[in-house]
Amino acid sequence: MPGDAMGNNTEQQSNPDIIYQFILFIVKGGKNSERAVDNLQALCNQWLPNRHNIKVIDVVKEFETALEYNIVLTPSVVLIDPEPQTIIYGDLSDSERFLNVLNIKRNLDGK
C-alpha cells in the first residue's frame, strides 16, 4: 500500500491512527486538474502533515478506475479512508468546503 502511495509517507508519524487516503482523478494538461493537484497537496501539507496519501489518476489513461468510483467529472478527489468514502468535485480552491466536507477540522479537534 505505501509503495503505491504518492505524497508524504505516514510511517514516521507520531500519531499514525488515521492516515487519510485520497485518489485524485484528473485529466493531464487540464488547467482545473493542475490546480486541483496543487490545492490538494497544499491542503494536506497544512492540515494533514504526514498523515495523508494521495494517488493521482489520469482518467484518460485509467478510465475504468474512474467508472469504478462513479466519477462523473474531473477534477474530483475521493477520500477512501477514513470512512465514509466521500467525493469532492472541482479544483479544491474552496478550502473551507474541503475541510467541512471531510470533517477534517472536527476530527482533528476531537483528538
Partner 1 sequence: MGNNPTYKELEEKLQQATQILDALQSHKADAVIGTDQIAMMRLKEVEDQLRKQIQISSNRLKEIESIYKNVPVGLCILNTDLEFIRINNHLAEMNGIPADEHIGKTISELLPNLNNDIEAKLEKVIKKGESQMNVEISGETPAQPGLKRYWLHHWLPLYSKMDNKLLGINMVIQEITDRKKYEQKLKKLNESLEERVQARTESLLSYQSQLRSLASQLSKAEEQERQQLATELHDNLGQMLAMGKMKADLLHNEDLPEETISKIDEIRDLMDDALSYSRKLISDLKPPPTLKEDLLSSMEWLQNKMEDHGLKVILHDDGNSKPTTEEIRTTLLQAVRELLFNVLKHTEVKEARLKLLRHKDQVKIVVEDKGEGFNPDEIAVSEDEGGFGLFNVRERLDLLGCSFNISSEKDEGTTITILAPLKNGGKEEEETEQIPEQSLSSKGGHKIKVLLADDHKLVRQGLKKIINAENDMTVVAEAADGEEAIKETRKVVPDIILMDVNMPVKNGIEATQEIMKEMSQVRVVGLSLHDDEKVTKSMREAGASAYLTKNEAFKTLCATIRSEASVTLKN
Name, in order, each residue with C-beta under 8 angstroms of 97's C-beta and a sequence gap of 6 or more: 88
For 37, the 3-state DSSP assignment is helix
Q: Which of residues 14-33 bind partner 1 (CB under 8 A)?
A: 26-27, 30-33
Residue pair 107/47 in contact by the 8 Å Cβ criterion: no
Q: State which residue, 50 or 82, has the beta carbon closest to partner 1.
A: 82
**Minimum distance, C-beta of residue 16 to partner 1, in the bound complex (Å):** 29
Number of residues that bind partner 1 (CB under 8 A): 22
x/- binding map, residues 39-78, to partner 1, per CB under 8 A?
Answer: --------------------xx--x--xx---xxxxx---
Residues 28/89, Cβ–Cβ less than 8 Å: no
Identify the helix (H) or strand (E) that includes residue 26. Answer: strand 20-26
Nearest distance in Å: CB 53, partner 1: 23
Distance CA 44, CA 50 (A): 8
Our CB check for partner 1 shows the closer of 10 and 41 to be 41
Per DSSP, the three-state class of 97 is: helix
Q: Which residues bind partner 1 (CB under 8 A)?
A: 26-27, 30-33, 59-60, 63, 66-67, 71-75, 87-91, 93
